[in-house]
Amino acid sequence: MTLIEIMIVIVIMALAAGGATVALNSVTRAKLRSACVRIVAGARFGYHRSVVRGRTVRMVLDIDTGSISFEEADGRVFLARNDDDTRLELDETDADLAAVDPWSAAQARLEDTFTPSFGRSPFGPISNEDGEPLSRYQPQALGNNIRILRVITPHEIEPREAGRASIYFFPGGRTQQAVIHLADSADRVYSVALHPLTGRGRIYNYAYEPEEISDESPSEVRDPG
C-alpha cells in the first residue's frame, strides 16, 4: 500500500469512529429525553385522574431504582413539611410521612398520647374494580442507565437525592410544583419542571434550577411548616 492509500484508510476509520460516537450520543440523549417525556405524561395522568376521580394522586419517583409509579388516596390528605416539629421526632427516612390521613393520625394520638404519630399513610396502589393493583401503575424503570439525581418539592426543605420522592395531584385541579433532574450514562442532565396550576411539564436540556418553589397549598392540604 502506498502512503496515500494508508492515509485514506486512516481518514475513513476516523470518520467511521466519529460517526459511531455521534450516533451513540444521539441514542443516549434520546433515552434521556424519553424518560423526561414519561414523567411529563405521568404528571398529566395524575392531574386528570385526581380531577376525574376526586382523589389525591401521587407520582412516586424511586431515586435508588430509577423507577416511577402511581398511588392514590381515598380521603383528604394533609401534607407535612419535613421541618414540622412532630415529624422531626419520627423516622425522617420515610418519605411517606409527608402525606398523612388526619383521621388515622387522630386515632394514633388517642391510643398513645406520649408518642407523636401521623398514623398510617392514606395512599395505596391504583387498583381495578376488584381491588387488584394494576401493574401498569406499579414501579416501572424510566430507562436503561437513566438516573434520577434529585427531586425538588415544597414539602422537602432540601432536594431529595435518595429514597422515594412524591409529587401530589389534588382533586381541585392543583398540582404540587416540582423539578426533577435526570442524568444518563454520559452524565448529561435534563430537567422536568411541573406547573402547579395545570400539571403540565416543561423539559430543559440542562440542570434547571427554579428561582423558588411555591409552597402555596390548595384548600384540602394543611402545611404545618
Question: In this structure, is residue 66 part of a structural domain?
Answer: yes
Residue 102 lies in a domain: no
pLDDT bracket for residue 188 (50, 70, 90):
very high
**pLDDT averaged over every residue in the chain:** 76
pLDDT number for residue 129: 85
Eight-class DSSP state of 133: B
Q: How many domains does the chain fold into?
A: 1
Domain span including residue 180: 3-75+126-204
Instruction: List all residues 6 or more positions away from 212 whose beta carbon is below 8 Å from its beta carbon.
Output: none
With cut-offs at 50, 70 and 90, classify the pLDDT of residue 214.
low
Residue 214 lies in a domain: no
Residue 156's φ and ψ, nearest 5 degrees, are -115, 130
Residue 112 included in any domain: no
Residue at 30 is within a domain? yes
CATH of the domain at 52: 3.55.40.10
Q: What is the largest CA-CA distance in the chain?
A: 92
Tens of pLDDT, residue by residue over 20-46, are 555 556 666 889 999 999 999 999 999
Judge whether 225 lies within some domain: no
Instruction: Output the pLDDT for position 94.
Output: 46
Average confidence (pLDDT) over 172-193: 92
What is the per-residue pLDDT for 19? 57
Q: Determine, yes or no, domain membership for 222.
A: no
Give mean pLDDT, residues 75-88: 58
Residue 26 is assigned to a structural domain of this protein? yes
What's the pLDDT tens digit per position in 137-155?
A: 999 999 989 999 999 998 8
Amino acid occupying residue 122: P
Say if CB 120 and CB 5 are below 8 A apart: no
